[in-house]
Structure 1
């Protein structure tokens, strides 16, 4: 039987806003860095308590998880989507936690029709892995890509990366063929990004409370030379 659950200590913290003062006794648990020893110790104590409390049904949990995983086709691809001269799709691999973002060249310049189908087999154009999340996730306890956007020409790819679970993304731009980084990463943005043609990438910054803050843009008028980002307007 598990012991008593851990109880977070109360540390009064005053928050003043618009002439009003309120006291938050658990403000000390706010830790965006995920590195405060006291916060981590309390979370570990809660996890240990939960594990002890649920230990009698752990075997059932394992059986259910194994059954769910057994019903999943791990080696799979989603439905390809044609954009410009490429088919884009995601691939999952057996035993891997993350996806590969792939593309395959359209063999002809024909117009898109409802009968379009990505060619496969020996005569099909080679598959190109644009981004492998399994490789990018190495060395991280947590990894998530919140956005993956290909420029209209297919030359550049912008993606938002979160490595600690706070949904404050770091924005990267890479060359779609070589995978080389273009310019410097931008930290503290949301997962809402969009290309405005090939020349501009629109993104949203976050304030100190992780709220969407300003709509900004990056210029790519000179390919592979990222001009300084300029904030276009505030929300």
Structure 2
């Protein structure tokens, strides 16, 4: 029998407008509500029954897809800050292995392994590596990982000189983060606990608990997304705020561990712009008067 979700009206009011969501009860951020889990199990069981007669076809298509994937794949290397970087897929491995070597090395087969994602994923039903960033002095790696399949990442730090992991974990974050130029100060974006939208920028000092981190900026308008990157000059950390048709940039001095953000151009309805900095000049791309 086809599962049928119960209709339980739930009122939500935003900007003076009230709407009814009959299926709001299916939201379970803790993944522990018995009634939600039971309904999902009913849906899964129904799906398996419907598709059971096509299992042989599913297996054949999956095999065709896998057979087209090279058993060993090596990415083209790129150079950044004195190192060559690449990732490889070894035969039988589902995840990439990330490596680097000195840009001056002439030994092509000698690579330092930064991360073997297969080992990181070995004890979890799901694994996704959201991104990594290495300090300007090339000694510490920040790594964003999702073990829940909800795009709720945790950031961990590894000392690349010793191979040891630092004890702190930055939880419920976006895979959007940058290092300050002191190679010790770290900026990252947290998600809202309910909407899961990226809305806060925090500053972390390596080796300290996340409870000591400082809130740098909070976006109050939930139509805006918050992200981070560095300018080409590496002198500024860019806090980029973007809605569907409007954007705003705030800047942090990457040379200062206690920098405070300042607005480059205040947001203006339907004005979108991006910003870069290079060789002591700002470069602005804007749709104003376009």
1:161-196 alpha-carbon deviations (Å, 9 max, x no partner)? 111111111111111243322251111111111223
Q: Partner residue of 1:115?
A: none
Q: Partner residue of 1:154?
A: 138
Q: 2:36 aligns with which of 39, 59, 74?
A: 39
SS of residue in 1 equivalent to 2:137: coil
| Residue 202 of structure 2 is aligned to residue 216 of structure 1 | yes
Displacement of 1:144 after TM fit?
0.9
Displacement of 1:7 after TM fit?
0.9
Displacement of 1:211 after TM fit?
0.9
Q: 1:80 aligns with which of 72, 77, 80?
A: 77
Q: 1:196 aligns with which of 158, 177, 180?
A: 180
- Determine which structure has greater relative contact order: mean sequence separation of CA pairs < 8 Å that are 6+ residues apart, divided by chain length: 1
Unaligned runs of 5+ in 2: 220-290
TM-score (ref. length: structure 1): 0.82
Displacement of 1:119 after TM fit?
4.1
1:67-121 alpha-carbon deviations (Å, 9 max, x no partner)? 111110132221112222321111212222211121123345xxxxxxxxx7424
SS of residue in 2 equivalent to 1:54: helix
Q: Partner residue of 1:185?
A: 169
SS of residue in 1 equivalent to 2:172: strand
Note closer, same or farther for the CA distance 1:97–1:57 as it changes in structure 2 (3 Å cut). Answer: same
Unaligned runs of 5+ in 1: 109-117
Q: Partner residue of 1:103?
A: 100
- Matched residues in 2 for 1:81 and 1:177: separation? 21
Displacement of 1:231 after TM fit?
1.7
TM-score (ref. length: structure 2): 0.68
Q: Partner residue of 2:22?
A: 25
Alpha-carbon contact 1:15-1:22 (below 8 Å) kept:
yes
1:210-233 alpha-carbon deviations (Å, 9 max, x no partner)? 01111122235xxxx348321222
Displacement of 1:50 after TM fit?
1.8
- Matched residues in 1 for 2:124 and 2:67: separation? 26
Report which of the two has the higher share of strand: 2
How many residues are paired up? 215
Alpha-carbon contact 1:130-1:177 (below 8 Å) kept:
no
